[in-house]
């Protein structure tokens, strides 16, 4: 019986990873479309707005500026931080419009992932000539069930 349970867990894990891959692919596709239309050099907020206009065309549910609570010992801040965009309750998207992505930007993405409990994150920098030069995808070790 333990083999059956293990097989089920592996199958569910593979299905969840596939769902996350589909979501991240949709976000990256939308970001590429936004970058083609707008190019580099604008404020992060402009890219966020246009990305959120593009996501529904790809069938992706999302929330803009979603609060990420911060809980530490006796202090609870319901709105400690905000994720730029959360897609499908599974992918946290952190947008940048900077000359160069720095290690602190990736650390911020990882911290937001840990605080939010979301399994996947994308760090997308629109201030580049080619968008593939400006994005990073990160997964937390544990993948939980996701819904589109």
Q: How far apart are CA 124 and CA 137, in angstroms?
A: 9
Q: Is residue 23 part of a domain?
A: yes
Does any domain span residue 85? yes
**Two tokens, residue 25:** 């692919």
Runs of H (alpha helix) within the chain: 2-38, 44-54, 103-116
148 falls within a domain: no
Q: What is the pLDDT of residue 45?
A: 97
> Per the domain annotation, does 75 fall within a domain?
yes
Any domain includes 100: yes
Averaged pLDDT of the chain: 85
Q: How far is CA 18 from CA 25, 39, 73, 140, 148, in A?
A: 10, 30, 36, 15, 12
Confirm whether 145 is domain-assigned.
no
For residue range 77-120, list pLDDT tens digits in order.
776 689 999 999 999 999 999 999 999 999 999 999 999 999 99
Residue 125 lies in a domain: yes
On whether residue 146 sits in a domain, the answer given is: no
Find the domain containing 105 and state its range.
2-139
Q: What is the pTM of this model?
A: 0.83
* Number of structural domains in the chain: 1
Task: Quickly tell me which residue has 């990882």 as its tokens.
Answer: 110
At 97 the three-state DSSP class reads coil
């Amino acid at each position: 019986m333990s083999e059956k349970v293990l097989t089920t867990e592996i199958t569910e894990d593979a299905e969840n990873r596939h769902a996350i891959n589909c979501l991240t692919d949709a976000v990256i596709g939308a970001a590429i479309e936004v970058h083609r239309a707008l190019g580099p050099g604008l404020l992060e907020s402009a890219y966020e707005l246009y990305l959120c206009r593009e996501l529904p065309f790809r069938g992706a549910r999302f929330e803009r500026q979603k609060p990420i609570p911060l809980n530490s010992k006796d202090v609870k801040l319901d709105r400690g931080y905000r994720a730029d965009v959360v897609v499908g309750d599974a992918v946290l998207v952190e947008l940048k419009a900077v000359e160069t992505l720095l290690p602190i930007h990736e650390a911020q993405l990882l911290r937001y992932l840990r605080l939010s409990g979301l399994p996947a994150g994308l760090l997308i920098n629109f201030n580049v000539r080619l968008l593939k030069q400006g994005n990073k995808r990160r997964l937390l070790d544990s993948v939980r069930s996701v819904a589109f």
